[in-house]
Amino acid sequence: MTHNIYLYILVMAGVTYLIRMLPLAMSKKEITNNYIKSFLYYVPYACLAAMTFPAILYSTASIYSALAGLLIAVITAYKGKSLLIVALAACAAVFIAERILTFF
């Protein structure tokens, strides 16, 4: 049985194009439903969180240092600090936790 890779690529491109183009082609007027508008507004944030959360937990040598960095990042972000402060605090927390965990 021979496999035609070009056929696979063509089918994949067609499916990807249809998934992205079909909603645009189906809606000819502006979306007025507030529920759908709010849902579409938060989709990018949900996708970003779903992609970055596993990377946060498995990017360090230990899950405990990753959780320490995540906890510090959540706390500083909740307090309204800037993105730079949140990132620096999380990095510092991971660094300190990694140093503490090397002694145990």
Write down the domain spans for the chain.
Answer: 36-104
Would you place residue 1 in the very low, low, confident or very high pLDDT band (cuts 50, 70, 90)? low
Q: Where are the alpha helices (DSSP H) in 1-104?
A: 5-26, 34-57, 63-78, 83-102
- What's the CA gap between 41 and 8, in Å, rounded? 33
Cβ atoms of 67 and 57 within 8 Å: the answer is: yes
Q: What is the pLDDT of residues 9-68, one digit of tens each?
A: 999 999 998 888 887 777 778 878 899 888 888 888 888 889 999 999 998 989 999 999
